[in-house]
Amino acid sequence: MKYFIHVSLLFLYRLATAAISLQEFASEQCTGSQVGSVLSNAGNQFDSSGCVPSNQFHSVTLITADPGFVCNIYADTACANFPVTLEPTAPGTCVNVIGAGAICFSQALFDNPLADSTAAVVIGGSSVTIALPSDNFGEKAINLAFGNAIDQACGDKGCSPTTVQTTTSVHQTCETFEIEVCKHDATCQQTIQVNGNDDNTNQRDYMKGLLLATFVTANKQDPNTDGILTSANDTKGVGGLNPIHVLSFASVVLNDAKGNNLAEMSVEVDMQCSALTPRESGCNDTFKTVVDAALGLVPDVGGLVAAAFDLSCQAFS
């Protein structure tokens, strides 16, 4: 008797913690012997039970069914022949269906692995002045330069750190920046380097959108933006280049609802000039609030979108 109570309590506990659970019966109308039961698995990436084979059943009932969860019923034990999906219904509702296997999982997580998750974004503590083509200004210039760098370095399975976008500006151009740089160098060399890992283009393109929004918003909040060229009416740029302040670093890590790393991407910017030193980016709580709001406006890519953002400031160096 004690053994029966122990097993029953354990089963009830699993039902209480499961997002969806299914019972299978040998006869129609959920009568006769119980053939098997299927519980979603909270340890799985998609809260999936995986394929659970059984003897042939003729009816099923959902014991628990939270929103966003479904059960697929299969005619075979390999879960290959897929006849019907059971959507969440009132607990205890019986459905007559012939099958020999089932998979119960979170449709919401399957459609968007980032549902109820957090995208961790690190904002660089330093900003540098770089040269961008003078036919583009401000936000457009940043999106074009950094977007191209990401496109060149990243495919659908990660980014190659050896793909570095390099721009060389001459001494005369550097002097027009109204800052004391390149006085003793014939050239200034800037690099944009991208690193990252992803499983598909949806992850890659969504992270790209988040990083571009971070760089653009940070540029607008940078306390060093005095004298920076932001409109087509500015005429200080020479040699086809204009100066602009940008973060020296930003990164994003996409985690699923359980904290597992799904994908990550980072962009690092460097400008080599003898008299040029990085300055503080001004990242603080107010700064992060503004960036967080901008990240929330980044559209989903193929249904992929983070539920929340966790922003942090990199130490100035």
If one counts every other C-beta atom within 10 angstroms of the C-beta of residue 152, the result is 14
Number of domains observed in the structure of the chain: 2
Mean pLDDT over residues 124-131, rounded?
A: 83
Helices 201-221 and 285-295, axial angle in degrees (round to 10): 140
Which residues have a Cβ under 8 Å from the Cβ of 170 and sit 6 or more positions away? Answer: 186, 187, 239
Question: Are residue 80 and residue 224 in the same domain, yes or no?
Answer: no
- Picking from 289, 215, 296, 285, the residue whose alpha carbon sits closest to that of residue 249 is 215
For the segment 190-235, what is each residue's pLDDT rounded down to a tens digit? 788 999 999 889 999 999 999 999 999 988 876 554 333 333 333 3
Given a contact cutoff of 8 angstroms between Cβ atoms, the answer to whether 297 and 309 are in contact is: no
pLDDT at 228: 36
Given a contact cutoff of 8 angstroms between Cβ atoms, the answer to whether 123 and 281 are in contact is: yes
Q: Is the pTM of this model over 0.85?
A: no
Question: Are residue 126 and residue 72 in the same domain, yes or no?
Answer: no
Question: Are residue 179 and residue 226 in the same domain, yes or no?
Answer: yes
Could you say which of 110, 134, 149 is where a domain stops?
Answer: 110
Could you say which of 50, 79, 110 is where a domain stops?
Answer: 110
Question: Are residue 94 and residue 132 in the same domain, yes or no?
Answer: no
Mean pLDDT over residues 307-311, rounded?
A: 91
- Picking from 20, 5, 102, the residue whose alpha carbon sits closest to that of residue 57 is 102
Question: Are residue 242 and residue 178 in the same domain, yes or no?
Answer: yes
Question: Are residue 205 and residue 130 in the same domain, yes or no?
Answer: yes
Question: Are residue 279 and residue 133 in the same domain, yes or no?
Answer: yes
Quickly state the pLDDT bin for 312 (edges 50, 70, 90): very high
Containing structural domain, residue 158: 118-313
More confident of the two residues 213 and 134: 213
For the segment 156-172, what is each residue's pLDDT rounded down to a tens digit? 888 987 777 776 654 34
Question: Are residue 301 and residue 197 in the same domain, yes or no?
Answer: yes
Q: What percent of the chain has pLDDT over 70?
A: 77
178-185 long-range contacts, Cβ below 8 Å, gap at least 24? 178/227, 178/236, 179/129, 179/243, 179/276, 180/275, 181/129, 181/273, 181/274, 181/275, 181/276, 182/273, 182/274, 182/275, 182/276, 183/274, 183/275, 184/274, 184/275, 185/273, 185/274
- How far is 187 from 184, CA to CA, in rounded Å? 9
- How far is 223 from 126, CA to CA, in rounded Å? 11
Q: What is the DSSP letter of 230?
A: -
Could you say which of 79, 110, 141 is where a domain stops?
Answer: 110
For the segment 286-298, what is each residue's pLDDT rounded down to a tens digit? 889 999 999 999 9
For the segment 32-67, what is each residue's pLDDT rounded down to a tens digit? 899 889 988 877 878 899 999 999 999 999 888 888
More confident of the two residues 117 and 208: 208
Question: Are residue 64 and residue 99 in the same domain, yes or no?
Answer: yes
For the segment 224-282, what is each residue's pLDDT rounded down to a tens digit? 543 333 333 333 444 456 677 888 899 999 988 778 888 999 999 887 765 556 778 88
For the segment 136-146, what is each residue's pLDDT rounded down to a tens digit? 667 888 888 89
Which residues have a Cβ under 8 Å from the Cβ of 98 and sit 6 or more positions away? Answer: 56, 57, 58, 75
Question: Are residue 201 and residue 236 in the same domain, yes or no?
Answer: yes
Find residue 242's DSSP bridge partners: 132
